[in-house]
Structure 1
Amino acid sequence: MYEPIRTKSVHSTMAGTPSDFPHRSREEELDIQLGGHLAALLAVTDELRAAAPSADLDEAAERLAAQVSRLRGGVAPVRTSASGGEAGIAALHRRAHDLAGRALVVAASRADTSAAILAAERMDAHAAALAEPQELTGVG
């Protein structure tokens, strides 16, 4: 009724059987994911620095760059030279808060204390910036 399988499976089902494609460990995958989240947070931080410069954002950008570099084996992250784009400050803070939250989750599952502390600090900073009353601009 059924024809027997004559070729080897493309999936390795036997424990201990080496396969032809490289595998990454869970730790390596989490490093890659955390590095990506922190690099995205760095890009938004650079956008915020261009729109509203501050010493806090400068320090945060340097700390983020150091963490990304550490996670990427010493390779420095690509920095953007943002030009105060169209996105509003509040939208940038919301996006940065979300990215910091994602980084915090991955850092916690990876047990990376320094990255988790940095992500939590950035979440607090962006939440505080969102809670501040926004200055209204007069029309007319």
Structure 2
Amino acid sequence: MYEPIRTRSVHTLTDDAPYPHRTREEELDIQLAGHLSALLAVTDELGLDEAAERIAAQVARLRGAPPVRHAALSDSDPAALHHRAHALAGRALVVAASRADTAVAILSAERMDAHTAALAELRPVGAL
């Protein structure tokens, strides 16, 4: 009554697929290196050399090569840069926790604390 299916299902995974397959760990490594690279750019812009070196070391570990460093300064508001760095460190912390990368998780949490403290110093007393 029905004609049999003569071709393979499009839902079947094959090893000879025309696109590369990555493991979950590889995808998390790529994502984490991206967040840390963005954090490195903001950290360089803020002139936090010691923190930038620690972040660069983790990016190099994840990528297998040293990161390209941010050279130009945008003269952005320091408070805006600290907010951005805090958000990027938070994203890195979430991915590091998912990946069970303790070194990056600790570094990210330390950077979040440092940017929170810097923001508190930049705000006038009594301001929200």
* TM-score tier after normalising by the smaller chain length: 0.7 to 0.9
By how many angstroms is 1:30 displaced? 0.6
| Matched pairs, number | 123
Aligned positions of 1:1-140 closer than 5 A: 5-12=5-12, 17-20=14-17, 21-49=19-47, 57-73=48-64, 75-83=65-73, 85-134=74-123
Give the aligned CA root-mean-square deviation in angstroms. 2.0
By how many angstroms is 1:6 displaced? 4.2
- In 2, Cα distance between the equivalents of 1:104 and 1:129? 19
Unpaired segments of 5 or more residues in structure 2?
Answer: none
- In 2, Cα distance between the equivalents of 1:100 and 1:3? 57
What is the TM-score of this pair, normalised by structure 2? 0.86
Percent of aligned positions with the same letter in both sequences?
A: 74
> Structure 1 runs of 4+ off > 2 angstroms?
2-11
By how many angstroms is 1:18 displaced? 2.5
- In 2, Cα distance between the equivalents of 1:72 and 1:24? 15
- In 2, Cα distance between the equivalents of 1:12 and 1:62? 45
Q: Which amino acid aligns with 2:15?
A: P
- In 1, Cα distance between the equivalents of 2:45 and 2:66? 18
- In 1, Cα distance between the equivalents of 2:34 and 2:81? 18
